[in-house]
Structure 1
């Protein structure tokens, strides 16, 4: 069992039209460092980190834990997508006690604007719906992050609330279990 409850980890790689979603490998380390050092990626995530610091702290095989998929395009990592348990101490929940499944993602700037985030997130949401069919999924993003807000709507997340966290207004939404993925709900 994993932190995701009854979800066996790691699953077989998930293949989409253009991507492979897989467990992290040692050859992904340089891309992980690039991702976390990127000023553009860090804008809505609390800032970037220095490459020197990342070289010291990023493990040989980074991101290898239940719920984290590498987004692989043509054999190279372009980002990550994850399903994690939302910390009960944080604001934003749809059930008493928290611990909801929460979707997260990050892509390298060169991969932005090609629909990869939507493709990867939809595939992980489908996989999770098959694995844990009765469980809703939540998503939290800064309301100023217009790209992430559009993606949330396109994936069918609906707003539950907004709150202040990390010095910015956060948008918190839910995707009901059993709803179709990849398109906004009416």
Structure 2
């Protein structure tokens, strides 16, 4: 995925929800990020787990500024990450022929699954996005086999745009048009 073009005002102040804080990555998040990216359970629907030893070598000790990457923290500990990036025009699945739509993505540690954290965190990012990118649609893509992600997409208000084959599996592309202030942040 392509990074967001220069994002005025990045990073935003930490975003608080009822149970979570969304913030820019810090050095203390490195071990959890490695755990997240090397987890077979997390990687099941996103191309597989990455080798832990390769992540240990490649991931910098101090995080680089990456506009659109939000660490999700619960009770002072990182439990996942939410991204808002431009969808690569080379990938399948788009709203526009030229691609480049805003795309919402997320990964959470398995121990935090089933608690509504993904929905809560993604809703907070969409709320922020409504101010940073008014009137731009956001897409979300997931494998149709990933029932949990499909439920999150539905709860957030995404509607199906298309299905297509990619990465050896059927993919679902949904859109939220346009991004508006959320009912989640009241």
Instruction: Give TM-score, length-normalised by structure 2.
Output: 0.92
**1:84 match: secondary structure:** strand
Name the counterpart of 2:134: 133
Alpha-carbon distance in structure 1 between the residues aligned to 2:175 and 2:6: 19
Matching of residue 17 in structure 1 with residue 14 in structure 2: no
Please list, as runs of the form range in 1=range in 2, the aligned pairs for 1:35-74 lying within 5 A after superposition.
35-62=36-63, 64-74=65-75
**1:79 match: secondary structure:** strand
Q: Please tell me whether the aligned partners of residues 154 and 182 of structure 1 are also in contact (alpha carbons under 8 angstroms).
A: no
Q: Please tell me whether the aligned partners of residues 34 and 56 of structure 2 are also in contact (alpha carbons under 8 angstroms).
A: yes
Instruction: Please identify, of 81-90 and 60-69, the stretch whose mean Cα deviation from structure 2 is larger.
Output: 60-69
Alpha-carbon distance in structure 1 between the residues aligned to 2:6 and 2:103: 13
Q: Please tell me whether the aligned partners of residues 127 and 180 of structure 2 are also in contact (alpha carbons under 8 angstroms).
A: no
Q: Please tell me whether the aligned partners of residues 32 and 62 of structure 1 are also in contact (alpha carbons under 8 angstroms).
A: no
Question: Residue 63 and residue 148 in structure 1: after superposition, are their counterparts in 2 closer, same or farther (change >3 A)?
Answer: farther
Name the counterpart of 2:169: 168
Alpha-carbon distance in structure 1 between the residues aligned to 2:80 and 2:168: 25
Q: CA deviation at 1:6?
A: 5.1
Alpha-carbon distance in structure 1 between the residues aligned to 2:129 and 2:175: 14
Q: CA deviation at 1:4?
A: 4.1
Cα-Cα RMSD: 1.6
Q: Which runs of 5+ in 1 are unaligned?
A: none
Q: Count matched residues.
A: 182
Alpha-carbon distance in structure 2 between the residues aligned to 1:7 and 1:93: 25
Alpha-carbon distance in structure 2 between the residues aligned to 1:138 and 1:154: 14
Name the counterpart of 1:103: 104
Q: Which runs of 5+ in 2 are unaligned?
A: none
Cα deviations by residue, 1:98-152 (Å, 9 ceiling, x for unpaired): 1100000000001111110000000000100111111000000000000000110
**2:151 match: secondary structure:** helix
Cα deviations by residue, 1:40-76 (Å, 9 ceiling, x for unpaired): 0010011112221111111113474010000011111
**2:9 match: secondary structure:** coil
Alpha-carbon distance in structure 2 between the residues aligned to 1:62 and 1:182: 32
